[in-house]
Amino acid sequence: MTQAASPALIDDLVIANHILVNEGVLDGFGHISVRHDKNPERFLIARSMAPGLVSADDIVECDLDGQVFDERGRKTYVERFIHSEIFRVRPEVMSIIHSHSPAVIPFGVTGARLRPICHMSGFLGAQVPVFEIRHTAGESSDMLIRNQALGKALADSLGGSNVALLRGHGNVVVGTSIQQVVFRAYYTESNARLQSQAMALGEIEFLSPGEAEAAAQMNDVHLDRPWQVWKRRARHMSE
């Protein structure tokens, strides 16, 4: 029998749902999960619902096969396999966001690769992988990561990266804490917007791999600063 997850972890997960909607990363769709703090073989995620309306009562537990454990028999998202299969192969990952954040979409469907354009997005690394669902699901899928095989294929594409794009769909971002993954999802969207603008002006000088890594380490020290601002800005959503 698994012990209950810490209430503070659940609170942060709820707040993260609200922040991500309030900051334009999630809309009526998308989800964030966090690994269970008492059982690494499970994770916490909202039941299948709009993230902007999530409260602590809506959080359910899921195992790494994508099976939901809920006394009330509630279901979570069809795309829970994004989370289960990444948690399975990336033991250091504690939190995962799947979004359709709009500025990122063009980079999954063109030859233009998402790369770090400024120091806030050094976590993108040298380049961001793009997952091609047709290699696993064929030519006529509904584009959703709706089973374990697709989740595993996506986790393979992600490899050791922090971000992967899903062609014609969205992206997935991973981190070692809720605060870090929210930061990364926010600045993935921001980087995509800035990169598109810069591409219209001319050739871009991206961060070098060394600059990207050093900037990412620097930013990890200050995750609480934007988190507190975003939390306050989203306060109205939990009232």
Query: Which single residue is written with the structure tokens 């975003």?
Result: 230
Catalytic residues: 79
DSSP 195-221: HHHHHHHS---PPPHHHHHHHHHHHHT
Residue pair 115/201 in contact (Cβ under 8 Å)? The answer is no
Termini Cα distance of the chain: 33
Beta strands in 80-175 (DSSP E): 95-99, 130-131, 163-166, 170-175
208: region left, alpha or beta (phi > 0 left; psi from -120 to 50 alpha): beta
User: SS3 for 193?
Assistant: helix
User: Tokens for 46?
Assistant: 């909202």
Q: Which of 191, 178, 44 is nearest to 115 (CA)?
A: 191
